[in-house]
A and B are shown apart, each in its own frame.
Chain A
Amino acid sequence: MNELMGKNDDGNTKPDFNSLTAVIEIKQNLSALRGLRDSLIQVIKLLSQYPEKQGYLLLLNPGIGSANLDDEFEDIRSALLPSIAERLHLIIAKEHAIGVKPKGMNEADWAFVKNWIATLKEPQVALPNPDKKSEVLLFILLQWITDKAPISSRWIERTVGCSYRTVSAAINELGPAIKRESDRRVRLKYFPEESWRRIAAMAQKIRTSMYYVDASDQSRSPESLLKRLNLIGRHDIAIGGVLGAKHHFPNLDIVGTPRLDICLHVPGKSVNLSFIHQLDPALERTRDRHRPARLVLHYIRRKETLFTRGENGFLWADPVECLLNLYDARLDVQAAHFVEFLTAQSEKSNENA
């Protein structure tokens, strides 16, 4: 069972990276000094196998302080034969920041280390504060479309993640479109066109979306990106846009899928976007709306996602979100058609209620 121990058939240990001049072992998220000792033993064994090479242990985001790691490393190194100790090195990279090149390290090996770290980069993007009042309006609208029952302020607060004052301000803005029940719960009486127009017009300012174009000359189709999204298996990303609208309204009049709109749930203030390059390393963010986006990322900032899981296992964004995505894609005709469908559906269920 040599292979289970990371060894070749000749019993030798196989390094994570083996160049002409160096062997490198890589350990991520090391949480105990015992792990450091075990990893160093691996490198020491490699140095015995490769007497002409330098040996590096690369620690990525260790959960132990650098000073402790350095102390332990020096303790171990001081106990080794000079022929091994002089070739044993420790590289620590935290939060993808890596220090200076270890003395004597070959440029190509250093490039490998930097590249490896770069491939693991998890860019954290800070997001602006969400417009919670609009989120309340969207939630009330969604409730009107999907479920006619009145809703309490407390429920809205919990779903959106906002204060009573925000809920109250949003309800006031809906004016005569709101019906207040005797128990203070509220519901819409009709589609609030004025408020909707305001939100749709302001959507690009009050909501956060990011646009990605293909930087290669072999762009992946939205369907291909979707396949990879499914492989990633995230529970906080749903499909919106044209595909989402078609899920809710199969008769939407559009041929093909010009781009993939996905909705990422981010109730907090920052987001990790490393998954974008898992969908396709050729995706490149653009702020130029004239460049045809292959992927558009919308942020769902309320506390609850309100995503639904379809029969095929995909997560779908709610119809109101999909509708906003259609406006974002400048598919105004399709968006208007979708509004008609949602309104009719709602009125139909009102009659049945």
Chain B
Amino acid sequence: MKTLEDLLRPVSPANVLRAIALAVPSDCRKNIIIIGSLAVGYHYFGQQEDIVVRTKDADCLLSPGIAAIPAGIAIAERLMGAGWTFKRSKNHSDPGTASTPDSELPAVRLCPPGQSEWFIELLAVPEAFSDQSQRWSRLKTRNGHFGLCSFGFLSLASYRPSPTDLGVYIARPEMMALANLLEHPTIRPETMSGGFAGRADIKRSNKDLGRVLAIARLATARDEDAMLSWPGLWDEALRDRFPAEWMVLARGAGNGMRSLLASEVDLEQAWYTCVNGLLASTPPTFDAFKLVGRRVLQDAIPPLESIGRI
């Protein structure tokens, strides 16, 4: 039976970022924005190599959109040339070919040489608000054909990312939080493919909305008033990324979180993903986690909703 650590490996955000930055072509580093739990971990735990987060993928967003395909090709070719290996999955045992349809192309998922703890995955920013569903762009590399996936509100994660000493960028945690809030206006029934930390019942919505609460907790541990600054930045990002839709998006930003907090069953799942993920080193009790949610609904969401009602 697989242990929790087999399922979600403890990795050091600092070490993973360094490995990625050193492996990719230097002129492509500026196009890479690390997103997801590694970005959150790096943001809050900095360069402390002894702090680990449990994850298995290092999601790299390629930005801006126009540079995504050439940068994706260059990065994939450089990594595979340096011994990074294609991560096989149930559906893909090898990279695609010229005859593979776009929608069936494998994602660029590459494991570092000699390691299987984590893998890099390349993603792209959606071109327009209407591109909410998954879209695949073909990457023709010397090592085969891959798909560069874009979906949802990834464009928010590329808003004012933080530079690192390593040359790559990391997404701002509060922007990832907003992307997750907007991605889940309701608790959808789809569960995580492959489960989460040994459980098969975890809904994707609960995991992603739980991430918002994990970010809120980490942010307030560093600065108790951190969330007071979120609505202003969210407002700015929404206007910039979605000039035609920002008001509607702002007004609806809290619906998913309210649904999560209204359901103990869903909230328990969100809590489980956090205490076995980003908050593994300082796990809150369930009640304390719930209070984080109520604080998010106090400090961060209502001001944004109000802005959307002007």
Q: Which residues on A are within 8 Å of B, measured CB to CB?
A: 2-4, 6-9, 14, 16-20, 108, 111-112, 114-116, 119, 215-218, 220-221, 224, 227, 231, 277-278, 280-282
Contact = CB atoms under 8 A, between A and B. Distances in A.
B50 interface: no
Contact of A281 (B224, B262, B294, B308): B294
B288 A17 contact: no
B155 to A, nearest CB: 15
Given A218-B217, A218-B221, A17 B298 contact: no
B298 A19 contact: no
Given A9-B129, A108-B263, A112-B262, A218 B288 contact: yes
Nearest to A221: B224
Given A2-B248, A18-B186, A220 B298 contact: no
Interface string B252-294: 1001001101110000000000000000000011011001101
Interface residues of B, number: 37
Contacts of A7: 248
Nearest to B188: A20
B245 to A, nearest CB: 5
A111 B259 CA distance: 8
A224 B225 contact: yes
A115 B262 contact: yes
B291 A19 contact: no
Given A6-B251, A108-B187, 10 more contacts: A3-B247, A3-B308, A6-B248, A8-B248, A9-B248, A20-B186, A112-B258, A215-B287, A216-B292, A281-B298
Contact of A3 (B188, B189, B248, B259): B248
A108 to B, nearest CB: 6
Contacts of B189: 20
B185 interface: yes
30 contacts: A3-B246, A3-B248, A6-B251, A8-B248, A9-B129, A14-B251, A18-B252, A18-B255, A20-B188, A20-B189, A108-B259, A111-B262, A115-B258, A116-B258, A119-B297, A218-B217, A218-B221, A218-B288, A218-B292, A221-B224, A224-B224, A224-B225, A227-B225, A278-B298, A280-B295, A280-B298, A281-B291, A281-B294, A281-B295, A281-B297
B298 to A, nearest CB: 6
Nearest to B295: A281
Interface in B172-230: 185-189, 217, 220-221, 224-225, 228
Contacts of A114: 262
Nearest to B252: A14
B66 interface: no
Given A224-B224, A281-B291, A112 B247 contact: no
Contacts of A217: 284-285, 288
Contacts, number: 88
Contacts of B225: 224, 227
Contacts of A19: 186-187, 259
Nearest to B249: A3
B244 interface: yes
A8 B249 CA distance: 9
A227 B292 contact: no
Contact of B259 (A6, A16, A112, A231): A112
A224 B221 CA distance: 13
B261 A115 contact: yes
A8 B245 contact: yes
B246 A218 contact: no
A280 B228 CA distance: 12
A17 B255 CA distance: 6
Contacts of A2: 244, 248
A84 to B, nearest CB: 22
A8 B288 CA distance: 36
Contacts of B228: 227, 231
Nearest to A119: B297
Contact of A14 (B224, B248, B285): B248
A58 to B, nearest CB: 13
Contacts of B129: 9
Contacts of A115: 258, 261-262
Contact of A215 (B188, B248, B291): B291
Contacts of A218: 217, 220-221, 224, 288, 292
B47 to A, nearest CB: 24
Given A3-B248, A18-B185, A108 B224 contact: no
Contacts of B246: 3
B247 A4 contact: yes
A195 to B, nearest CB: 42
Contacts of A3: 244-248, 308
Contacts of A221: 224
